[in-house]
Every structure is written in structure tokens, then in C-alpha cells.
Chain A
Amino acid sequence: MAMEASNVKPPVSAIEEAHLDLYTIPSYSSWFQWGNIHEIERISLREFFDGSSITRTPRIYKEYRDFIICKYREEPSGRLTFTELRKSLVGDVSTLHKVFTFLEKWGLINFSGTVSAEPAEVQQRHKKEVRVEEGAPYGVRVVAAPNSLKPVAPLPRPVDVGGGGGGELAENGSKFPPLASYSDIYGELLQQQQQQGEEGKELVLCGSCKQLCDSGHYEHTKDEFLLLCKKCFGNGDYGSKSAHDFKYVDDTNQVVWTEAETLLLLESVLKHGDDWELVAQNVKTKSKLDCISKLLQLPFGDLMLGSALRKTKVWDRNAGQAVPAHSVQDTVTGDDQQHEHKNQGQQNANVEDPGPPHKRLCTVPNLDASSSLMKQVGRLSSVIGPPVTACAADAAVAELCYENRCSREIFDDDNFGDELGYSARTDEEERVLPVENSEGEKGPTVSGASEHRGNGANISKECCTTNFANASCNCNFSWCCSCSCEVIGCSGRERN
């Protein structure tokens, strides 16, 4: 999305316009209106709109939102922090933070060319500076008790105590890798990386033919980013530079992995988890360090290194206990098609399983193993709006048909539309019509009516569409006046 700014003014009378301040927000947020709550807000912050708590209502959301934006605009050149803001609002801090993050993401607050650069820079700087501390952190220091004459032993090695308790789980019966700290296993690897410099493990692409340079490449002495592979160099394909300016850099210490070895590596990692000794034994041709670095290079490699790899337990709300996650994998692969996560595993001739389910575990943590597939599908599709789900389903089925002949037979072209929510769409249109007639406005009204229906509220469709048409206030909001739901922005109308 192009980040052009568009100017948004709060609605005021014409007389005051001359004194108005202009605030910039990104063009993709032009849906925002002061007097209105848009569907995007309803979907992203649905806890305010599903009646789940007296502490979260549409009115409260609007108060939070308006206050936060106004507060930011008091000082648009600075960045409004969450901590500065939360003291002024009554509410659960996690919920407030969610609203804050939402507004920030859409650029309704803290959107300014100069300001946003700074925190990013600071973050970059922090990432590069790794502070190496000698000795244990103060909080974990062993101190001599007062009045004790015994000297305290010095503590040279830094220790990460906070993460020590973090569980590394395995199913009962499988061998537990020894509990070791990061530097035990990866220490040698880190050393090696440092020796080889930053470019040591990176894949080198030729600047002219865009192919991978395997065993060595030519680097321009003055511009270190100008690289040529041996072939292009031999062809004289220097661009505007001369041959003398290139020096040869040997990459032969880069390890080459065949597809079979990569496959074997992934299987071993799946089976043995973090135990690199066993993994290296399985992949006989590669050393322990090579295995680790190869895994890191793979697209989902760093996911596998985390606890997602081992059979982590997923909190099963229904059963009230932790449940092994491998059953999640089974039910989730069905979902894979629905939700359009490309199977990157195929690029590396790998086993299909390691890729998507682990990504799923990371991206949708509230999946649990016990609910049926349809429930999960329902839950996932309630996270996004219906048109998006329909598009995703379309695309997924198209891909399925492309891959697999029998899918094509199943999703016969004639039935294509019907299968995938065109009927749902016509339903929506039907529902929409009576509303449109009365209000004559599109946008929030239309989607509001259907969204309202899907919220699980105790309101029947009949109530909403017919009574809505009869609503005595002309506010274009989707809450029905006559059935005890709240009308936002409506000035004097009381709730029943």
C-alpha cells in the first residue's frame, strides 16, 4: 500500500474551518470518521462489539478512541506512548493496549514522517549493540549474608535465569535432550560465524545474472555490494566498471546440501528435536554445526528451532488442560488449504509437514486440539471478514484444482460459484436491500447489518431489518433502536 498521506479534518462548521489544524493520516485509513465506527474497527476490536463484557461496549470504545486520537493531536510532533496514555483511561490495560496498537497500526496516531523514523532507528541501534556482561546479573548474585565472615565465590559466567524455567516439553517416553544453555550448543557456531564475518553464511547472488554464486564470486573493491559470479566475470559483464576493480572472494568453505540430505535433516530434527548429536548422526555426511546452520537458512528453520518443533502442549480450554499439539497438526493441515499459506516446503524438496503446521502454531495460538475442524474453521473465519474468507477460499480451491486432478472433479466448474459463497453473497445483498431503501446510504450500514447478524447477539434478523427501517433516528448505525441494543452517535434516543 502506498503510504500517501491524506488530510482529514474533524467535521466542524464552515465558519471554524479557517482555524482548523490539518492532521495527516495515511490514505489507507481514509475510512475513519469521527462520528462513526467503521467495520474495520468492529472486526479488529470485536470484544467491544459482542457484548461480552460490561466493561467493553461500543460507547466505551468510541470514548477511548476519540480520547487517544485527541491526546495525540495535542502534540502531533511527538510520539504518544501507551504508558503516558493509560493513566487517563479507566479500563483493563491489555484491552487499552489493544486499542492503542490498533490506532497506531492504522496511522491514526503517531503517524508522522519524522517521528516514526526515530524509534525505528533506536531499535536498530539496540539490536546491533549486544551488551556482554561479565558475571551473573545483579538479581541473581549470591551475596554474603550480613555478619558473615565467609568470602563469596566469584561468578564469571553470565546466566539467563529468566528463561531457565521455560518448559521444554516432550511427550512421555521420548528421550529428553540435556537441559543446556544457548552458548553450550551454539557457542561454536557463533564463533565460526564471527570468524567468517557477516557474509559468511549468506547466500551470494550475482549482481548481473541474479544467479547463486557457489564456490566463489568477484567483489568490487570500492563497492562491496557489487558482486559478480565467475561466469559473468568471465563474460566480461562488468557493467560500468573495469575488470581490475574486482577481487576474487572464495566461498568454497560453504557447504553444499543435496535435496536428499536436506530431507534427512528435517526428518531428524522432527524426530530428535534439539539433540544435535543425534541429528548429525542421522545426517551422516554433515557435521553438527553444518546441520544447525543449514536449518537456520531454511525458510521455516528458525521456527523449528523453537519450542514449536518439540511436541509442545497446546492449552485446551474445553478440557482445561494441556494437550499434545501433534493432534493439532492433523486437524490443521485441512485448514491449510482454506487459508492460503503457501507450502514453502516444496521449494526445498522437503517433507510437507514441518512447514505449515508450525507456522500455524505460531500465528494462531488459540487453536485447540479438541474442537472439530469446522469449529476451528469457524473461529478462524470469524477473525476476518466474510469477503476475505470467501476470497481466500476461492484462491485455495483454485490452487487445489491446479495441483490435483481429482480436486478439479470435485469442484466442478459449474458449481464453483455456489460452493464458494456466491450464495452467501446474494444472501447479503438481499438482507441489505431493505436497509438501503430506508437509509439510502452504503458503507457502514450495509456491512453493519450483516455483521450485526453474525455477532451472535440475541437479535433476530427480522428485528434488525424491519425495525431498522422504522427507526425514528436517522443515524446510520447498525444497532437497532427497538430491540435493546445500543445506538451509537444517536443523540437523544434512549435504549429500551
Chain B
Amino acid sequence: MKPLSTWGSSRNPVKFRIPTSDNLLPIRLDIEIDGQRFRDAFTWNPSDPDSEVVVFAKRTVKDLKLPPAFITQIAQSIQSQLTEFRSYEGQDMYTGERVVPIKLDLRVNHTLIKDQFLWDLNNFESDPEEFARTFCKDMGIEDPEVGPAIAIAIREQLYEIAVQSVASAKESRMIKKGRKGFEHIPISKAGGIAVDLVKSFGNKSSVIRKRKEWDVFEPIVDLLSNEEVDALEATEERNAR
């Protein structure tokens, strides 16, 4: 197949969305009231009616026995993240041929994870939750909170890249005016993090990585002791202030 024809099709922009099979938005909460700090992260379906936000906030507060002051804060936080997401909806998003590196660097309770891999932005069938499930199964992680945390971390990065590509679509539309015919859309826009596709997937190269690079792309999973967790938490607190 002529490689050129595939790039041609990628010129058609797509409406903004999270480039996964289900359009779920990652939401992060970090609220402190009266010396109590509530942190959480989950996915939200943006096509839910907004009335659900308050219902969810009330439910959460009730389940966790939080003081009622949290209800409005939680609802507001979710709502503002939703609104921000919605502000991008309807705009064009240029994804084109982009394979980006996704990096994981997170701590969930006693598990520390560092990892790096490639993700195809054009693959609207991709599923971060499935990836997270496979990851936990293969690495033998038993803590059930790790999987969702991984999925949310991936979603957040994808969301950020999607937002950037909305911005870059606007720019390139202005630049493109007047140019004719096929052009090689510069893939390294929007943060310059995309993989050079011709170099990596072209006919002259192998898609098998050199052995010395295997370490870089291998996941690292560490189980921390209680003291290490406490120490890390203290550092995070300090950094947050």
C-alpha cells in the first residue's frame, strides 16, 4: 500500500474527545476543609446529566461520613472539570498519525510504578482500563486500587494531548491556508513528544527494539514498606504547599 494515501486521510480532523473506545473523562479531587483532606480520582462519563454531579457528591459524603461542607466543594470541583472538558467539545481535534509515549510515575498505597510505552492517538478503540488490567495481572499486583489509578493516569495524559491537539489544529488551519496538495504534517508539534513515524515504522527500520533499550520500556513495580510510604507522603505534602 502506498504510505502516502494513509496520511491523506488523516488530514480530516475529528471532533474533540478522549481518544479511547469510551469517552470517559478523568476527574481528580483534592479538597481540604477544616483540617480534613479528601483526595480521589475516578472517571466520569461526560454525557451524564449534570444533575448527577450533586447526587454523586452527596452520596460520596454520606458513604465516607464526611462533613457536609464537602458536598458543595466536591460538586463544584467535578463541575468545573466537566465544564472545562465541554469547552473543548465541538472543536476540531487533529490527531493524524500520532504515536506518543505515555509515562507512568505513580504511587498507589504501597505500590510504586514507573513505566513507559507508546500509545496511538488515532486508535479510538484503545482501552486504558484493559491495559491496566493486563498490567496488574502480568505483574501480579494484588492491590485493587492500582489498576484504576493506572487507567486514570493514562487518561489524564491522553486528555492533555487531546487538548493540545485542539490548539494545534487551530494553528495549523491558519498556516495551511494557501498550501496545496499533500503536505507532510509536522508530527512533532504539540509538545514535540510524538514518535517519528517514518523513522520507527518505515521500511528501513525494524520494529523490534534494540536490546539495550528494553530496560527503558520495562515497567518497574516496587512494593514499599510503611516507613517508605510515610516518608514519601511527607515529601508530597511538602511539595504541595
Contacts and interface: CB of A to CB of B under 8 A. Distances in A.
A255 interface: no
Listed from nearest, the 3 A-B pairs whose CB atoms lie closest are A148-B35, A51-B1, A92-B120
Given A55-B97, A83-B135, A165-B42, A90 B207 contact: yes
Contacts of A88: 208-209, 211, 214, 217
Given A89-B208, A159-B64, A169-B48, A83 B6 contact: no
Nearest to B203: A59
Interface in B53-76: 55-56, 59-60, 63-66
Chain A interface residue number, banded:
35 or more
Given A90-B208, A458-B5, A164 B47 contact: no
A22 to B, nearest CB: 25
Main secondary structure of the interface of B (DSSP, over half): mixed
B119 A164 contact: no
A365 B195 CA distance: 30
A137 interface: yes
Contact of B134 (A82, A155, A486): A82
B109 A138 contact: yes
A141 B92 CA distance: 39
Contact of B117 (A67, A86, A139, A484): A86
Interface in B1-36: 1-3, 5-7, 9, 15, 17, 21-23, 27, 32, 34-36
Contacts of B209: 87-90
Contacts, number: 197
A152 interface: yes
A145 B32 CA distance: 8
Contact of A142 (B49, B52, B64, B130): B64
A94 B208 CA distance: 16
B17 to A, nearest CB: 8
Interface residues of B, number: 81
A458 B6 CA distance: 11
28 contacts: A51-B5, A54-B202, A55-B120, A57-B201, A63-B208, A64-B207, A83-B138, A83-B139, A87-B117, A87-B215, A90-B118, A90-B208, A92-B119, A94-B125, A94-B130, A136-B63, A137-B144, A137-B145, A139-B40, A142-B66, A145-B35, A161-B60, A162-B42, A167-B45, A167-B47, A366-B125, A484-B1, A485-B1
Most A C-beta atoms less than 10 A away, residue of B21, B118, B130: B118
A54 B156 CA distance: 26
A182 B124 CA distance: 31
A154 B64 CA distance: 9
A421 B59 CA distance: 57
B117 to A, nearest CB: 5
Given A60-B201, A87-B217, 20 more contacts: A51-B2, A53-B97, A54-B198, A55-B200, A57-B201, A81-B137, A83-B135, A88-B208, A91-B99, A92-B99, A92-B118, A92-B119, A94-B125, A139-B109, A145-B37, A148-B35, A166-B43, A167-B45, A167-B47, A486-B1
A157 interface: yes
Interface of B: 1-3, 5-7, 9, 15, 17, 21-23, 27, 32, 34-45, 47-49, 52, 55-56, 59-60, 63-66, 97, 99, 108-109, 117-120, 122-123, 125-127, 130-131, 134-135, 137-139, 144-145, 148-149, 195, 197-198, 200-203, 206-209, 211, 214-219, 237
Given A165-B27, A165-B45, A144 B36 contact: yes
Contact of B56 (A63, A67, A145, A165): A165
Contacts of B37: 142-145
Contacts of A149: 35
A353 B117 CA distance: 44
Interface of A: 50-55, 57, 59-60, 63-64, 67, 81-84, 86-95, 97, 136-140, 142-146, 148-150, 152-157, 159, 161-162, 164-169, 179, 181, 313, 315, 320, 322, 365-366, 457-458, 484-486
A320 to B, nearest CB: 4
A457 B36 contact: no
